[in-house]
Amino acid sequence: MTKTAGSLPWMVLNEKMRKFFVLISLIGILNLYAEDGSRLWLPDSYQEQPAVIQTKVKSETVSIAVKELESYWKGAPVKLLKIKDKTLACDGFRIEGDYDSQVTIRAASDIGLLYGAYHLLRLQETENLSQSFKIQEQPAYALRLLNHWDNLDGTIERGYAGYSLWKWKELPETISPRYEQYARANASIGINGTVLNNVNASPDILKTEYLQKVRVIADVFRPYGIKVYLSVNMASPKVLDDLADADPWNPAVIRWWKNKAQEIYRLIPDFGGFLVKANSEGQPGPQDYGRTHADGANLLADVLKPYGGIVMWRAFVYNPDQDDRAKQAYREFVHLDGQFRDNVILQVKNGPVDFQPREPFNPLFGNMSQTPLMPELQITQEYLGFSNHLVFLAPQWKEFFDSDTYCQGEGSTVAQVTNGSIFPHRLTAIAGVANTGEDINWCGHPFAQANWYAFGRLAWDPGLSSDRIADEWLKQTFTKEEAFVAPARSIMLQSWETAVSYMMPLGLHHQFAWGHHYGPEPWCDVPGARPDWLPKYYHQADEEGIGFDRSSSGSNAVAQYFSPLKEQFNSLESCPEKYLLWFHHVPWNYPMKSGRTLWDEMCYHYDAGVQQVREFQKQWDKLEKYVDPERFRLVQSKLRIQAKDAVWWKDACLLYFQTFSNQVIPHEIERPVHELDDLMKIKLDMKHHN
Amino acid sequence: MTKTAGSLPWMVLNEKMRKFFVLISLIGILNLYAEDGSRLWLPDSYQEQPAVIQTKVKSETVSIAVKELESYWKGAPVKLLKIKDKTLACDGFRIEGDYDSQVTIRAASDIGLLYGAYHLLRLQETENLSQSFKIQEQPAYALRLLNHWDNLDGTIERGYAGYSLWKWKELPETISPRYEQYARANASIGINGTVLNNVNASPDILKTEYLQKVRVIADVFRPYGIKVYLSVNMASPKVLDDLADADPWNPAVIRWWKNKAQEIYRLIPDFGGFLVKANSEGQPGPQDYGRTHADGANLLADVLKPYGGIVMWRAFVYNPDQDDRAKQAYREFVHLDGQFRDNVILQVKNGPVDFQPREPFNPLFGNMSQTPLMPELQITQEYLGFSNHLVFLAPQWKEFFDSDTYCQGEGSTVAQVTNGSIFPHRLTAIAGVANTGEDINWCGHPFAQANWYAFGRLAWDPGLSSDRIADEWLKQTFTKEEAFVAPARSIMLQSWETAVSYMMPLGLHHQFAWGHHYGPEPWCDVPGARPDWLPKYYHQADEEGIGFDRSSSGSNAVAQYFSPLKEQFNSLESCPEKYLLWFHHVPWNYPMKSGRTLWDEMCYHYDAGVQQVREFQKQWDKLEKYVDPERFRLVQSKLRIQAKDAVWWKDACLLYFQTFSNQVIPHEIERPVHELDDLMKIKLDMKHHN
């Protein structure tokens, strides 16, 4: 690749970057004390006198722990002790002591000491630490990963915070300071791995040229306990080195992967492994050669095994020819249970369709006792207003973790099914699709940072409450003042249900515009499009009613769940109303628990969503005095967009569905302000890459 | 002018007309009983058995009266008697009788009988006529005119209901059936004259070719008692016949006008006269030659006098070089009082600036005892949301008519000053700038018809209440059902104050976008523009406060009013709050009567406007069952636009003025959803011709 040496740096800046620098300059001029959001939730309180920190451990990782504590710990001297203790698993730690006299952090590993240090600082920022305390922590999942859907050209699929953090063109020579900042932020919340590139993977990532760049990033991340992983394209041997095919049974192919693994581990000895999206949405895979997903996964597992690497094989697979997309991951994978190597883990999206505002959990969870499964959550708000809408996702993830699969009777929650407590797999993991980008505030929306934070915290401990996480994040990110924290937390805790209300209440799903997934397009009809990429496939509205019949009289997706869940979902009466239109085609006049008809209930939900966003606006504006002007204005401005969008969603969905229900919107409800015809003409010029 | 004979009619249809025909066809196909609004408020109830109508009067006008009654009167036989009776002025009539036995209409003129017939039909549609009744009516103003700002190319300045009704290209050969429908509608509400062309007049209208077209229209209108008038360009002699100048003292010019008058009256013996906009906004006039407005007006008056014609000379004159535009009409004309011929009448806009949402009355009213003054009202909603916003103007006009000028002590209302009761001029008149166009429903917005109706009714009797007029119009236009009429009337009666609230409360004025006057642009700054065409000239917002200081410490416009009005307006304490920012520059924290500060009060007004429009939406949607689908949907759709526009106005004005007030919008109030920066970028592609 030719370097553009000689051209002025300014000339090669892209639009986003230019904005970034203009912003930087403006902030510099206008307000020296501006809070641009770049700090995230990390400590920044300057102290002249460093704290007293003692340790005998010498390592880069522990040095970071010492430095962080020296810089930001305001309490008694801290001792860091590495000990052997079977009650302390790999990343765990114990903190004992008293804020005013002495504090000791014990861990079995260097990274455990660093996690302990960050935890201590978090406690300082969020709790009253005057009492003596004794804390022991260890993570629920062994691997806690971010997945970056970042392309090698710098775009990010479903990224809404600017271009990629990874500057492939500059690497390996130039190392952006943000790589380390990123590692520090992740370490502070316990994230210990990251998949650098998009699951729709370019084979190029495995070129030596790119691996040398990856090595540099891995080197920066290593002291922070973060391993690097890569998404790989199953056609790589064919594309990169002209092999006849990419059949996992072809010895030449196997040899190719073996050599590639060797090359990688020579550069990056602690390389984490591969993430694979195969035979899904046009990606190549083992089925191209009549092999199974297990065949493909095992090929890679075998070549990585000698080095301790793993394969994360995605279960997000569905075929336009088959019935009900929601059933397909289950159909494709359950029968393969027991056929995977022990260093393969299936990566399963939380719901059976695709990161919708609300989905029931994917029935694969609990149904594959021989195979470790790792949840894939989406931090980036592909289906929840991008970086424009304030939607705190912890409540969504909590609903998922706490869902009872009943696979081993009552109490077999998704969290327990995946974290090794029900099926005792050595390999436990969780992934979140990252919402980061080169925006100065990392995530676009200041409150989107809270979702990154929440993912880390829940990956560590799915038992944490949403309330607690919001509280922690707000105090560290803004201020500890309760007059700010209480109302801001209240906004956060309501925000997900609010978005569900104005977008897709009562189990509706996938009513998004074609291409990008920002606005509503329930009427969407693209000639020749896959039916399961069209909203009509999901809403099934007609004169009788609305909703996808997945009951035993419909697609029978309910049968994929364990009893008594399948019966509960199967019955119109017992199905939770939040999933009603997910599982049933329901008559417009069906009486809901509120006493309203379904149609009226839908109207009330949409309207409640709108009114709640307006309420968030009022609440936020009242907090002006607690927040620096930059972030205050940015959130205010995003809430304005959200308020307009909520009305857009409401009007689009109600006016469109009204053409089927033929019923009036209850007269107490605020009236539409748009015309359906006009809304149907909206074609936003949004790419699904930023 | 060459005829386009031979070209297909479809080919020469303009866009608007095409839509019209498409609409017609659609309505034909979809619903035979569609109400397209073309009927206006006129009777349409078909009766097989014509009513019994007796009269000895033989004239076209009385034939119309007979036909209307035969077709639509459902009561006892009606006698039409022409009598000599000094208590019955020219257009007056008397109706006596009983719905069930016998009704007699008496009048001194044929047109009086026709007006009586329409009045009787109106009573039938709006009252319970079972009792015997005796009614005598005569108009407050002798001349009740529409002014059409229609250009010869078919566009209408400030027209929002399609292109002009007058098909100059087709005339005189083709006579649109709408000419007679128009005449009938006007006659039914007592309008007896119409100025066919724009006050920004093309000299061409006086060409023989055009006069022959005008004659055809006059012939259609005549039986309905409607005289035709023309706007003339004072430069006509120079432009049309190459005279050296158009100096009103130039004998050649005088001769030219004399000849032209002769030509006109030969074609149209009852031609009404001329309307003139001179030396205003770029129009030529007598001041171009050092002559006065009186010189110009008198020249025309002299040439029309032999034929009974009149001159309506507009007082809408203001000069960018002088101080305070609001003072200029007064300064320009008061000193000319007594210098005009007795067939000249000064046509004065209701307010001193220009048809703003709310203005105090123009101080010329009451200040020119020797000169008849005719109010010019604006029916077309140039400054009130075009044909998109539902704004019933009767309350605005009532506020104007009922304003006390104090010119002869208390009780000298504008109505009395202009209708001949205080200054006993023979010539009394009133004009309304028409809101009609070729739209199938005449006025664009179904409720805009009510303003045409209200103008006619108030020109006849300014004592009628807004409530009564709304009630009459609703019953004739929609249905008599009280369940419909009461809430619809309530919307109408609130609508003007509502629009004032979301556009320009508390005396603010002229905050409109450049060019068109639809949306808000209080920040507008066009390089090189006349200062008095820019909103800043009017709002004068700064860090201290907002408003135009017209008190004795400012421009002293208050001095143009009689005592005690001038003192009342001059004092911040006694100035009515509705005119506060018209007359005063008021500090942001000034305590208002509500107890709020000025800034907060402004915020509450804007918000109240928004909430009220939303309430109109709810009210209207509840009325669906009483209204035909076409008009229901159209009004619903217009209200949606209005609701969005109200938010636009609120956000634009509050966010912009906030940059001066530096105060928060009270937190109880719904927050803005727009960014000021975005709003400042809006440049609507609207011409001020349709």
Using DSSP's 3-state secondary structure scheme, residue A648 falls into: helix
Alpha carbon of A579 to those of A238, A360, A582, A584, A688: distances in Å? 44, 7, 5, 9, 28
Annotated active-site residue A15? The verdict is no
CA distance A634 to chain B (A): 11
Dist. CA B379–CA B432, nearest whole Å: 6
Q: What is the pLDDT of residue A34?
A: 58
Closest residue in A to B643 (Cα) is: A673
- Stretches where chain A sits below pLDDT 70 are 1-34, 688-690
| Partner-chain residue, chosen from B637, B674, B675, that has the shortest CB–CB distance to A675 | B637
pLDDT for residue B10 is more than 80? no
pLDDT in tens, B582-592: 999 999 999 99
* Contact yes or no for B62/B113 (Cβ under 8 A): yes
Chain B residue with minimum CA distance to A672: B640
| Encoded amino acid at A79, one letter | K
Residues 6 or more apart in contact with residue B16 via CB below 8 angstroms: B162, B163, B438, B439, B690
Class assignment of domain A500-548+585-689? Answer: alpha beta
pLDDT: which is higher, B688 or B613: B613
Phi, psi of B666 (to 5 degrees): -45, 135
**8 Å CB contact between A121 and A69:** yes
How close is the nearest chain B Cα to the Cα of A604, in Å? Answer: 15
Q: Cβ B673–A640 below 8 Å, yes or no?
A: yes
- Cβ–Cβ of A668/B640 closer than 8 Å? no
- Tell me which of A641, A673, A677 to substitute to probe the interface with B (most B C-beta atoms closer than 10 Å): A673
For B143-461, CATH number out of 3.20.20.80, 1.10.540.10, 3.40.50.150, 3.40.109.10 equals 3.20.20.80
Cross-chain residue pair A643–B673, CB shorter than 8 Å: yes
Q: Which comes out higher in pLDDT, residue A490 or B48?
A: A490
**Closest by CA position to B115, among listed B428, B457, B467, B429:** B457
Comparison of pLDDT for B100 and A136, the residue scoring more: A136
Distances (CA, A) of B575 to A553, B447, B508, B578, B598: 74, 33, 14, 8, 14
**Which residues, in sequence order, are CB contacts of B77 under 8 Å at separation 6+?**
B51, B52, B53, B54, B102, B103
Closest among A477, A484, A520 to A609, alpha carbons compared: A520
d(CA A192, CA A138): 13
Q: Residues of A with CB below 8 A from B676's CB?
A: none
Element containing residue A647 per DSSP (H, E)? helix A629-661
Whether residue B15 has pLDDT greater than 80? no
Q: What confidence tens digit (pLDDT) does each residue in B346-382 have?
A: 999 999 999 999 999 999 999 999 999 999 999 999 9
The domain covering B53-137 belongs, at the CATH homologous superfamily level, to: Chitobiase/beta-hexosaminidase domain 2-like (3.30.379.10)
Contact B122, B468 (CB under 8 A): no
Residue B407 is classified by DSSP as B
Cβ(B499)–Cβ(B381) below 8 Å: no
Determine the pLDDT at residue B218. Answer: 98
Could you tell me which residues come within 8 angstroms of residue A67 by beta carbon, excluding any fewer than 6 positions away? Answer: none
Q: Is the model's pLDDT at B91 over the cut of 60?
A: yes
Give residue A448's Cα distance to chain centre.
Answer: 11
**Residue of B388, B565, B369 lying closest to A675 (CA atoms):** B388
Q: Which residues of B are less than 8 Å from A662 in CB distance? A: none
Chain B residues near residue A635 by CB distance under 8 angstroms: none
Contact criterion met (CB < 8 Å) for A667 and B640: no
DSSP string, A412-446: -BHHHHHTTSSS--S--EEEEE----SSTTSSSSG
Does A675 participate in catalysis according to the annotation?
Answer: no
Catalytic residue chosen out of the listed positions A137, A288, A354, A549: A354
Which residues, 6 or more positions from A508, have their beta carbon under 8 angstroms from its beta carbon?
A: A538, A539, A546, A547, A581, A582, A653
Question: Is 80 exceeded by the pLDDT of residue B14?
Answer: no
Q: How far is CA A402 from the centre of its chain?
A: 17
**Are B671 and A624 inside 8 Å of each other by CB?**
no
At position A330, the amino acid (one-letter code) is Y
Distance, in angstroms, between A250 CA and closest chain B CA? 59
Chain A neighbors of B673, CB-CB under 8 A? 617, 640-641, 643-644
Which of A614, A640, A667 faces B675 most closely, judged by CB atoms?
A640
Structure tokens at A338: 């027991």
Q: For chain A, how many helices (H) and strands (E)?
A: 21, 15
- Cα distance between residue B672 and residue B681, in whole Å: 17
The one catalytic residue in B44, B153, B281, B525 is B281
Per-residue confidence band for B28, with pLDDT thresholds at 50, 70 and 90:
very low
Closest by CA to A330, choosing from A322, A617, B547, is A322
CB-based contact B614 A670, cutoff 8 Å: yes
Is B535 exposed, middle or buried (CB count within 10 Å of its CB: 0-12, 13-18, 19+)?
A: buried
Name the active-site residue from A60, A281, A543, A621. A281
d(CA A405, CA A562): 7
**In A453-609, at which residue ranges do the beta strands (DSSP E only) sit?**
545-546, 586-587
**Can you give the pLDDT at residue B17?**
47
Residue in chain B closest to A667 (alpha carbons) equals B618
Secondary structure of A488-514 in the HEC alphabet?
Answer: HHHHHHHHHHHHHHHHCHHHCCCCECC
**The amino acid at B628:** D
A382 is catalytic: yes
- CB count within 10 Å of CB B252 equals 14
Determine contact, residues B36/B440, Cβ cutoff 8 Å.
yes
Q: What is the mean pLDDT of chain B?
A: 93
A:B CB pairs within 8 Å = 56
Residues B386, B351 contacting (CB under 8 angstroms): no
Q: List pLDDT tens digits, range B372-409.
A: 999 999 999 999 999 999 999 999 999 999 999 999 99
State the pLDDT at residue B268: 98
Comparing CB atoms, the residue among B643, B665, B667 nearest residue A673 is B643
The contact set of A with B (CB < 8 A) is 614, 617-618, 621-622, 624, 636-637, 639-641, 643-644, 664-665, 667-668, 670-675
The amino acid at B535: P
Which residues in chain A are contacts of B603 at CB distance < 8 A?
Answer: none
Pick the catalytic residue: B354, B439, B521, B645?
Answer: B354
Q: What are phi and psi of A189, to 5 degrees?
A: -120, 15
Residue of A26, A639, A651, A671 for testing the chain B interface, max B β-carbons within 10 Å: A671
Tokens describing residue A675: 């015309």
Nearest 5°: the CA angle B354, B355, B357 is 125
**CB pair distance less than 8 Å for A614 and B671:** yes
pLDDT at B690: 60
Q: Which residue in this structure is represented by tokens 């191209």?
A: A288
pLDDT, tens digit, 9 for 90 and up, residues B236-292? 999 999 999 999 999 999 999 999 999 999 999 999 999 999 999 999 999 999 999
| Residue among B673, B674, B675 with most chain A CBs within 10 A, to mutate | B673
pLDDT of residue A690: 61
Residue owning tokens 């952006």: A176
B114 secondary structure, DSSP code: H
Cβ neighbors of B506 (< 8 A, separation 6 or more) are B577, B578, B580, B581, B598, B601, B602, B605
Q: Residue B485: what residue type? A: V
- Please tell me the distance in Å from A607's CA to the nearest CA on chain B: 13
